[in-house]
Structure 1
Amino acid sequence: MSSDFTGQVVVITGASGGIGRVLARRYAARGANVALVARRSDELAVTAGVIAEEGGAASVHVADIREESLCHEVIGAIMQRWDRLDVLVNNAAVPGIDQRVSDATVANWQNVFATNLFAPMVLAREALSQAMIPAGSGNLQFVSSAAARVVQPKKAHYAAAKLGLSALAQTLALELGTSGVRVNTVVVGSVAGELFDSYVARRAAEDGLDPGELRSRLAALNKLGRLVQPDEVAEVSLWLASDAASAITGQDINVTGG
């Protein structure tokens, strides 16, 4: 892909590691000024350092996006730093505590919804009101999960929050259709990295399974028979933000291995 984002400002939430760090590096490599948002200041500094070493430009914004006021402030700080906002990739997410619904706690659900659904909505609202609608252009992306539809026991909280992102994106696409802002959801499958490794370790311990065997079994569930790589997710995000996808809005784009 030859998409050029030179001069554009791209906001990546959850940029402290995993897919978020890869997304940030890929956008920076294509010329974007990348605004890095997450709670872990030390890991954000690592991401920013890697981007600088690779010749890119980034700003660091430490914030707990579960707080509505901080979402407003962080978008304001990004506008103050870069004076524009072209792409917002709502990537940050938490898995929550695995619980059957019969044992579920409202606190667990509230924590997951606060990060995985409410924060993306508020950040999208702020990006739209402070930057994209006045500019008449922009690109919003929400990172969802195949687990929203291929449900698993003890993960109702996660599935419900992630499924909500698709409805949010489709509604926004309808509301923003003539505004110059496109909105889509990137639905990822089992992606290689820290989050998948943590899930395997946790589930293996709970169910008395061998972690290596469980990892292999889960990785082979899709049609490609392997884990999705973070770079593959990033390539789809870059395409969606580019002019090559100018007619694509209100869609769930599956990056799941089939």
Structure 2
Amino acid sequence: MSGTVALVTGASSGIGEAAALSLASRGAAVALAARRADRLATLAERIRADGGTALVVEADVTEQSAAVAAVHQTVSELGRLDTLVNNAGVMLLGPVVDAPVEEWQRMVSVNVMGLMYCAHAALPHLLAAAADGPRRVADMVNVSSVAGRVARNGSGVYNATKHAVGAFSEALRQEVTGRYVRVSLVEPGAVATELAGHNRPEILEGLNQRFADMQRLEAEDIADTITYIITRPRHVAVNELLVRPTQQQA
């Protein structure tokens, strides 16, 4: 991936952080986007210490102007954009009955609109990279979830947002694949990250019980999947990958 530039959203922890490290190790210059600038700075230092190139982009992708600015800063300072990893997301579970609706609004804002804003802003640059770039192909990897395939009691709105990501990704794939912009969907199962930690205490307790006896995936496992997708030859497009812990049944 030498000579290419990747923008990773939600890069301050978990899958985003691991993906940024993986892509940087392959030679990509990496723009790190998230709200927590202090964590991004630490990650950037780590990448630079290993000889890589990293740019800190403080951004809240739920604001369209911030998503546009993140892409603009990436292209202005790193020179181009070949890869977008749309990873920013939030998982707030619980019943629909008597649910705090602000949790729904937050999930739709981050998981759906934030992803779409970043995709929209990045597409002209990805199309340009595919037409005249070092690899003559560009990639958008949208991180969804097994929740985008399997609906569960207590996950209704999270399911809805992740099903939306899948539909958007497939429609966009059909639109741009003929121009060598590959749109891929990654659907992780249970991963040991901070994602579940934003839930209300009673919801978090249930999640901990559900996965107590399961060896969950690590963020690096999904980063390996993302890197695999992006590093395929130009004529190979991996449209969708579901990755679950071996012990996870649904």
Do the structures match in fold with TM over 0.5?
yes
Task: Spell out, residue by residue over 1:78-131, the C-alpha distance to the aligned partner (whole angstroms, 9 max, x if none).
Answer: 1101111011000111113x33222235432221111001111111111112x1
Q: Is the 8 A contact 1:139 1:183 kept in 2?
A: yes
Aligned counterpart, 2:165: 165
Q: Is the 8 A contact 2:31 2:55 kept in 1?
A: yes
Match of 1:248 among 205, 212, 237: 237
Aligned counterpart, 1:189: 189
How does 1:118-157 map onto structure 2 within 5 Å? Answer: 118-129=113-124, 131-135=125-129, 136=131, 137-157=137-157
Task: Spell out, residue by residue over 1:52-98, the C-alpha distance to the aligned partner (whole angstroms, 9 max, x if none).
Answer: 222211000001100011111111111101111011000111113x3
Once the two structures are TM-superposed, the CA of residue 198 in structure 1 deviates from its matched residue by 6.1
CA RMSD of aligned residues (A): 2.2
Aligned counterpart, 1:6: 2
Match of 2:225 among 231, 236, 241: 236
Counterpart residue identity of residue 43, structure 2: T
Following the alignment from structure 2 to structure 1, what is the Cα–Cα distance between the partners of residues 181 and 210? 42
Task: Spell out, residue by residue over 1:118-163, the C-alpha distance to the aligned partner (whole angstroms, 9 max, x if none).
Answer: 111111111112x122332410010011123333333211111111
How does 1:100-111 map onto structure 2 within 5 Å? Answer: 100-111=95-106
Aligned counterpart, 2:87: 91
Aligned counterpart, 1:180: 180
Q: Is the 8 A contact 1:204 1:214 kept in 2?
A: no
Match of 1:215 among 201, 211, 218: 211
Secondary structure at the counterpart of residue 151 of structure 1:
coil
Q: Is the 8 A contact 1:8 1:85 kept in 2?
A: yes
Most deviating of 52-61 and 181-190: 52-61
Indicate how the Cα distance of structure 1 residues 244 and 119 shifts in structure 2: closer, same or farther if over 3 A, else same. same
Aligned counterpart, 1:17: 13
Counterpart residue identity of residue 180, structure 2: G
Indicate how the Cα distance of structure 1 residues 204 and 230 shifts in structure 2: closer, same or farther if over 3 A, else same. closer
Indicate how the Cα distance of structure 1 residues 84 and 106 shifts in structure 2: closer, same or farther if over 3 A, else same. same
Q: Is the 8 A contact 1:239 1:245 kept in 2?
A: no
Q: Is the 8 A contact 1:200 1:215 kept in 2?
A: no
Secondary structure at the counterpart of residue 78 of structure 1:
helix
Aligned counterpart, 2:134: none
Following the alignment from structure 1 to structure 2, what is the Cα–Cα distance between the partners of residues 239 and 215? 27
Q: Is the 8 A contact 1:172 1:183 kept in 2?
A: yes
Following the alignment from structure 1 to structure 2, what is the Cα–Cα distance between the partners of residues 29 and 200? 37
Q: Which runs of 5+ in 2 are unaligned?
A: 132-136
Secondary structure at the counterpart of residue 27 of structure 2:
coil
Once the two structures are TM-superposed, the CA of residue 8 in structure 1 deviates from its matched residue by 0.7
Task: Spell out, residue by residue over 1:160-205, the C-alpha distance to the aligned partner (whole angstroms, 9 max, x if none).
Answer: 1111111111101110021110101001010123225666965354
Q: Is the 8 A contact 2:91 2:196 kept in 1?
A: no
Are 2:97 and 1:77 equivalent residues in the alignment? no
Identity %: 32
TM-score by length of 1: 0.85
